[in-house]
């Protein structure tokens, strides 16, 4: 058990040396870091919001637009269903409330119309008399929808801000339509605000070729199935020629719809059908890449899930020769002509993108579209809740705890085996700091507690091993046999205890948030590195000592 191949010994030494190298930037002063390579100097543990402050945002979700969009989709679906059931109607309009009002041509078809409505959505509340039918969602349904929108927005924000799960932002609901977002260590909030402000809603629509737009000649009335959307080129020209118009669009409350922008500021626009051919919710993946042709320009490559791939294939097969508009956040970024059926389940988005823009957009699409537009109503930089005092107190606790544990091991198992255990503890903490630095993890006050707990657990395995060795020695075994047998028989208990604790740490990380994740991160990393030091590093120390000293008795 103690006979280690030379390559294993070399591997252990190399891993330990690399861990020390990557943990070192956390101890170096700023002047030294400035002269080091950027990738190495920035490989450090981040302090959490409770230790060094960060960015604070209070966001308000535009729930009214979500409900209006839901009612608009209902009215479009209702038109199709009534035509399918051969129910004649004069008009279908949308009222504030929100509600949909259907005016029938023949009152005698009311029962047939109600049957079609129940087929479409049985939860709708129906009112009105004669040839008029008023449809609305119940208050319970509206409250449930609002709650779903906020919860979905929180989850998408978490994926956008913390894709790796190591930054530990605080994202919680406040009131009915507001979200509190706090991100530790953020000083320049430009990139963060860009991620928040973009809805990243991707939809594919067919262009209505029957509606002619000549220059600024926009028809006063469009067909009810059609709406106007500005093109990206048109918005870029508007930004260059009329910056005040762009400021007015951005500051408008409530936000202007794409059609309102087209009619008021008259950029280049396209008339598209309201019906969504394929939506961004069917996206399976999106990534930034480069086109093989066209000089290797940056593009966004996307892949649909099975349902989206089938819908996209059917839509392109049925509309060969027609233009398919790709709408992203209220702008048409491309409107190519469908040359043939696209049934591979994937595609690309091209445009005048920079590499950074494609990377950010791919992240937003990958995270999912925000169900509602989020408006920043409060923004400030927050100071540390605990700050230097907490860091000092946590550091003192960690140092005192480490010294007490080290002293206990020296007193209980002697200077030799106590030194082995304490050296393994030191290597374990070095591995933890190196792992957190490589992951870019944030260290919070609960994370410091996890590190202190790791210190105690890192010698726990040595206690099990040493006690087992004592038992084997007392049973009359030779020093070499006692060490080998004791280590081998204690190893099962060591692995089992660490794996069960690791499962708990993984569950805390998966289901927890904020400070809980900070504790789970440091604890789980400590358990993983402890498995390495207990099963490999300590064994290497014992094997090296036995090979060099050839002891005739054990003092343990």
Residue 186 has pLDDT above 80, yes or no: no
Residue 129 has a pLDDT of 84
Q: What is the DSSP letter of 296?
A: T
Helices 139-161, 190-197: axis angle to 10 degrees equals 150
Please determine whether the domains at 63-142 and 202-347 fall in the same fold group of CATH. no
202-347 maps to CATH 3.30.1360.200: yes
Percent of the chain with pLDDT over 90: 4
Residue 14 has a pLDDT of 92
User: Domain 6-50+387-549 maps to which CATH number in 1.10.1040.10, 3.30.70.260, 3.90.1300.10, 1.20.1640.10?
Assistant: 1.20.1640.10
Residue-range domain boundaries for the chain: 6-50+387-549, 63-142, 202-347
Residue 339 has a pLDDT of 79
Cα–Cα distances in angstroms (integers) from residue 401 to residues 156, 367, 432, 454, in the given order: 40, 42, 17, 11
Percent of the chain with pLDDT over 70: 92
Residue 266 has a pLDDT of 87
**pLDDT, mean of residues 390-407:** 80
Average pLDDT, the chain: 82
Summarised one tens digit per residue, pLDDT across range 357-375 is: 777 777 767 766 677 888 8
Class of domain 63-142: alpha beta
Least confident interval from 35-44, 404-413, 519-528: 35-44
**pLDDT, mean of residues 246-257:** 79
Residue 216 has pLDDT above 60, yes or no: no
Measured over the CA atoms of residue 38, residue 39, residue 40 and residue 42, the dihedral's sign is positive
Summarised one tens digit per residue, pLDDT across range 224-251 is: 888 899 998 888 888 888 888 888 887 7
Residue 527 has pLDDT above 60, yes or no: yes
Say if residues 230 and 330 touch (Cβ distance below 8 Å): yes
Both tokens assigned to 450: 């996890």
Residue 215 has pLDDT above 60, yes or no: no
**pLDDT, mean of residues 465-474:** 86
Please state whether the peptide bond connecting residue 254 to the residue before it is cis, i.e. omega within 30 degrees of 0. Answer: yes
Report helix, strand or coil for 148. Answer: helix
Cα–Cα distances in angstroms (integers) from residue 175 to residues 172, 180, 373, in the given order: 10, 10, 17
Summarised one tens digit per residue, pLDDT across range 409-468 is: 888 888 888 888 889 889 998 999 998 888 877 777 788 888 888 888 778 888 888 888
Residue 217 has a pLDDT of 64
Residue 290 has a pLDDT of 82
Round to whole Å and give the CA distance between 357 and 368.
16
| pLDDT-derived band at 384, boundaries 50, 70, 90 | low
Residue 9 has pLDDT above 70, yes or no: yes
Say if residues 275 and 225 touch (Cβ distance below 8 Å): yes
Residue 513 has pLDDT above 70, yes or no: no
Residue 131 has pLDDT above 80, yes or no: yes
Residue 17 has a pLDDT of 92
Residue 285 has a pLDDT of 76
Q: What is the DSSP letter of 216?
A: T
Round to whole Å and give the CA distance between 81 and 86.
9
Residue 295 has a pLDDT of 66
**pLDDT, mean of residues 547-555:** 76
Summarised one tens digit per residue, pLDDT across range 61-102 is: 888 888 877 787 788 778 888 888 888 888 888 887 688 888
The residue among 24 and 546 whose pLDDT is bigger is 24
Round to whole Å and give the CA distance between 506 and 524.
7
């Amino acid at each position: 058990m103690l006979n280690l191949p030379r390559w294993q010994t070399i591997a252990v030494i190399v891993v330990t040396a690399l861990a020390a190298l990557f943990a070192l930037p956390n101890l170096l002063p700023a002047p030294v870091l400035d002269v080091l390579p950027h990738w190495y100097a920035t490989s450090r543990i981040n302090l959490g919001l409770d230790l060094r402050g960060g960015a604070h945002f209070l966001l308000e979700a535009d729930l009214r637009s979500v409900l209006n969009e839901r009612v608009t989709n209902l009215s479009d679906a209702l038109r199709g269903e009534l035509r399918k059931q051969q129910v004649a109607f004069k008009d279908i309009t949308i009222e504030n409330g929100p509600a949909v009002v259907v005016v029938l041509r023949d009152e005698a078809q009311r029962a047939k119309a109600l049957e079609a409505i129940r087929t479409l959505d049985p939860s709708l509340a129906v009112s009105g008399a004669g040839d008029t039918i008023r449809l609305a969602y119940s208050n319970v349904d509206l409250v449930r929808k609002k709650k779903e929108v906020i919860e979905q927005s929180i989850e998408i924000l978490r994926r956008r801000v913390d894709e790796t799960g190591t930054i530990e932002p605080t994202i919680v609901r406040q009131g009915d339509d507001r979200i509190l977002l706090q991100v530790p260590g953020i000083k320049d909030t430009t990139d963060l605000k860009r991620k928040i402000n973009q809805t990243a809603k991707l939809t594919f629509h067919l262009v209505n070729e029957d509606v002619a737009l000549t220059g600024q000649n926009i028809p006063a009335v469009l067909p009810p199935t059609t709406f106007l959307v500005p093109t990206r080129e048109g918005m870029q020209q508007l930004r260059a020629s009329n910056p005040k118009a762009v400021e007015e669009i951005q500051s408008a409350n409530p936000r202007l719809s794409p059609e309102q922008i087209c009619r008021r500021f008259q950029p280049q626009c396209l008339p598209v059908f309201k019906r969504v051919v394929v939506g961004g919710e069917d996206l399976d993946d999106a990534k930034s890449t480069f086109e093989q042709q066209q000089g290797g320009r940056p593009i966004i490559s996307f892949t649909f899930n099975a349902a989206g791939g089938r819908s996209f294939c059917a839509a392109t097969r049925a509309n060969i020769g027609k233009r398919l508009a790709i709408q992203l956040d209220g702008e048409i970024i491309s409107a190519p002509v469908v040359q043939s059926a696209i049934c591979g389940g994937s595609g690309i988005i091209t445009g005048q993108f920079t590499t950074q823009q494609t990377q950010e957009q791919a992240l937003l699409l990958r995270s999912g579209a925000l169900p509602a537009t989020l408006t920043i109503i409060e923004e400030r930089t927050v100071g540390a809740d605990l700050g230097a005092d907490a860091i000092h107190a946590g550091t003192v606790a960690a140092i005192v705890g480490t010294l007490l544990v080290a002293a206990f091991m020296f007193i209980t198992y002697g200077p030799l085996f106590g030194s082995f255990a304490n050296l393994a503890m030191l290597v374990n903490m070095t591995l933890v700091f190196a792992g957190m630095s490589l992951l870019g993890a944030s260290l919070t006050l609960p994370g410091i507690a996890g590190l202190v707990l790791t210190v105690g657990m890192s010698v726990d395995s040595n206690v099990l091993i040493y006690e087992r060795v004592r038992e084997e020695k007392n049973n009359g075994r030779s020093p070499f046999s006692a060490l080998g047998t004791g280590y081998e028989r204690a190893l099962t208990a060591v692995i089992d205890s660490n794996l069960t604790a690791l499962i708990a740490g993984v569950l805390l990380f998966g289901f927890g948030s904020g400070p809980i994740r900070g504790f789970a991160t440091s604890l789980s990393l400590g358990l993983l590195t402890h498995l390495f030091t207990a099963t490999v590093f300590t064994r290497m120390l014992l094997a090296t000592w036995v090979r060099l000293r050839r002891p005739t008795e054990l003092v343990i």
